[in-house]
Amino acid sequence: MAKDERFVKQITAKSEDFSRWYLEIIRKAEMADYAPMKGIMVIRPYGYTIWENIQRLMDRRIKETGHVNAYFPLFIPESFLKKEMEHLEGFAPQVAWVTQGGQEELEERLAVRPTSEAIIGSMYAKWIQSYRDLPVLINQWANIVRWEKVTRPFLRTTEFLWQEGHTAHETMEEAQEETIKVLYMYKDFVESELAIPVIEGRKSPRERFAGAMETYAIEALMSDGKALQMGTSHNLGQHFSKVFEIRFEDREQKQQYVWQTSWGVSTRLIGALVMTHGDDSGLRMPPQVAPIQVVVVPISLGSWKENVLPVALAIEKELLEAGLRVKLDAREEFTPGWKFSEWEMRGVPLRVEVGPKDIKENRAVLVRRDVQQKDFVGLAALAPQVKKTLQQIQSSLFEQALRFQRENTRSVSDYREFKEVLESKRGFIRSWWCGDEACEDKIKEETMASIRVIPLKEEAKEDPGDCVYCRKKGRELAYFARAY
């Protein structure tokens, strides 16, 4: 294959310009495109299929943990957002407002939902009367609008898709249990299905969701060393229930306010897949969410349509029947080399090649996208071998990402070193923090690094060190990073 016919020839190297590399992959793999309005994107079929796979696998987990889906309105009257001032102030700069309906000016502006706590809270106040109505465990899949100044496909767009869980409970303990249960549901999902290792933990008060008592998050390290928030789970306490009057009669016939949580993940996860696993040849999709798990490419030599194509078709059929997502690329206008690089760009985890010589040997060639390794496999054992290889690829992508995350997580106790690491290597920095917002602000101002999480599991293990900034007694062990 001539070098110049490679589909990927124009792609920017990842090491050269990460941001341009990211945008080129999104465009060339046909994951998304820009709409004719600033900051708004179209999710093309290849990108949307990833989202469908994410939805299916996440929805199953959401239901297995006892939640049900519902659908709440897109529009929220301004007066509802205003009921909770902290919440409103958090979101007001980002709200798109509907002011006209048909030919008439509206008496009250309607917010296009930036999140749904307010509208859902107002409904829960109607639906919940007694402790018998609790817990309420509702999730919705919806589109969300936040007016953003600087946008990037999948990572930050004016409109995006997400799921948002909203639950109501009898006690504070139950709400806290739910918050943590969901956090670990997210962690398990992202690690098992997206093959992206995450650090789970608590946010600092400064980084909390507007209106939450406590925010928890999972954070991943992208391959440029910047962190990405992958999902959040909020313990809302009684903040919203007091504002929206969500009361119930408890077991002692007393009126109480419910305890609430909310939590979500979004199409941002698709951006994380690109930035975690992608390389200079394009995407590398984890098999669990890959739109196409296996591409079958017949080698088009001689009278291939008579000799090779029937075998390729039989392979496609066998793999489809094994329950795999398979694509046979029998296009005549492209060479095998062109096809290889196109499907590499799109990140198809496994390629099956079959040519005249392979047929004589009664075998096919398996080529792994993740490590570019070639293996000959007898046709008789093909389907089981393909399944096994896909599992290996899923694990291997996770292992690679985990190694990267570990290599780029550094314990630092000295502020000079802290700054040096951020300048030269980025990654996560584990440092002690006094708990004072002033230190947090100074660090952010001087280094652009923020506290991503205060890890749930590590704190107890170590004797507190001094705050990396002010040298006072450390109160929290925090993961700092520059973040998207």
**How many positions of this chain bind a second copy (CB under 8 A)?**
55
Peptide bond into 135 cis (omega under 30): yes
* Residue closer to a second copy (CB basis): 74 or 180: 74
Any contact of residue 424 with a second copy (CB under 8 A)? Answer: no
Which residue, chain included where needed, has tokens 């909020």? 234
3-state secondary structure of 431: strand
- Tell me how far, at minimum, the Cβ of 251 lies from a second copy, in Å: 13
* Residue closer to a second copy (CB basis): 140 or 192: 140
H or E stretch covering 158:
none
At residue 348, what are phi and psi to the nearest 5 degrees?
A: -60, 125
> What is the C-alpha separation between 249 and 453, in angstroms, rounded?
37
Any contact of residue 110 with a second copy (CB under 8 A)? Answer: yes
- Tell me how far, at minimum, the Cβ of 192 lies from a second copy, in Å: 23
- Tell me how far, at minimum, the Cβ of 405 lies from a second copy, in Å: 30
How far lies 242's CA from each of 92, 122, 360, 380, in Å? Answer: 21, 11, 75, 66
Contacting residue, 11, 26, 50, 112, with a second copy by CB under 8 A: 112
Contact mark string toward a second copy, 9..38, x via CB under 8 A: ------------------------x-xxx-
* Residue closer to a second copy (CB basis): 45 or 205: 45
* Residue closer to a second copy (CB basis): 120 or 218: 120
Kind of pairing between the strands at 374-378 and 363-368: antiparallel
* Residue closer to a second copy (CB basis): 33 or 446: 33
Contacting residue, 19, 89, 97, 305, with a second copy by CB under 8 A: 97
Part of the chain binding a second copy (CB under 8 A), chosen from 14-22, 108-116, 217-225, 432-440: 108-116
- Tell me how far, at minimum, the Cβ of 76 lies from a second copy, in Å: 8
* Residue closer to a second copy (CB basis): 265 or 478: 265
* Residue closer to a second copy (CB basis): 16 or 252: 252
Residues 52-91 that bind a second copy (CB under 8 A): 52, 68-75, 77, 80
Residue 321 makes CB contacts below 8 A (sequence gap 6+) with 383
Bridge partners of 352, per DSSP, are 296, 366
Residues 266-295 that bind a second copy (CB under 8 A): none
Residues 184-243 that bind a second copy (CB under 8 A): none
> What is the C-alpha separation between 467 and 3, in angstroms, rounded?
54
Task: Give residue 65's region: left, alpha or beta (phi > 0; psi -120 to 50).
Answer: alpha
> What is the C-alpha separation between 120 and 300, in angstroms, rounded?
58
Task: Give residue 222's region: left, alpha or beta (phi > 0; psi -120 to 50).
Answer: beta
At residue 405, what are phi and psi to the nearest 5 degrees?
A: -65, -45
* Residue closer to a second copy (CB basis): 33 or 437: 33
Q: Which of 144, 19, 9 has its CA nearest to residue 76?
A: 144
Contacting residue, 15, 19, 129, 143, with a second copy by CB under 8 A: 143
Q: Which of 430, 418, 435 has its CA nearest to residue 476?
A: 435
- Tell me how far, at minimum, the Cβ of 327 lies from a second copy, in Å: 12
Part of the chain binding a second copy (CB under 8 A), chosen from 18-26, 95-103, 202-210, 350-358: 95-103
**Is residue 33 within 8 Å of 154, Cβ to Cβ?**
no
Kind of pairing between the strands at 294-298 and 350-354: parallel
Contacting residue, 11, 25, 41, 328, with a second copy by CB under 8 A: 41
* Residue closer to a second copy (CB basis): 83 or 472: 83
> What is the C-alpha separation between 283 and 347, in angstroms, rounded?
4
Bridge partners of 34, per DSSP, are 41
User: Distance between the two ends of the chain, CA-based, in angstroms?
Assistant: 39
Residue 194 makes CB contacts below 8 A (sequence gap 6+) with 54, 269, 272, 273, 276, 286, 288, 289
At residue 475, what are phi and psi to the nearest 5 degrees?
A: -110, -30
Any contact of residue 96 with a second copy (CB under 8 A)? Answer: yes
* Residue closer to a second copy (CB basis): 184 or 338: 338
Contact mark string toward a second copy, 316..345, x via CB under 8 A: -----------------x------------
* Residue closer to a second copy (CB basis): 124 or 433: 124
Contacting residue, 49, 176, 307, 385, with a second copy by CB under 8 A: 49
**Is residue 252 within 8 Å of 157, Cβ to Cβ?**
no
H or E stretch covering 41:
strand 41-43
Part of the chain binding a second copy (CB under 8 A), chosen from 104-112, 300-308, 447-455, 468-476: 104-112
Part of the chain binding a second copy (CB under 8 A), chosen from 142-150, 198-206, 281-289, 429-437: 142-150
Any contact of residue 145 with a second copy (CB under 8 A)? Answer: yes
Interface residue list for a second copy (CB under 8 A): 33, 35-37, 40-45, 47-49, 51-52, 68-75, 77, 80, 92-103, 109-110, 112, 119, 122-123, 126-127, 132, 138, 142-143, 145, 147, 158-159, 161, 333
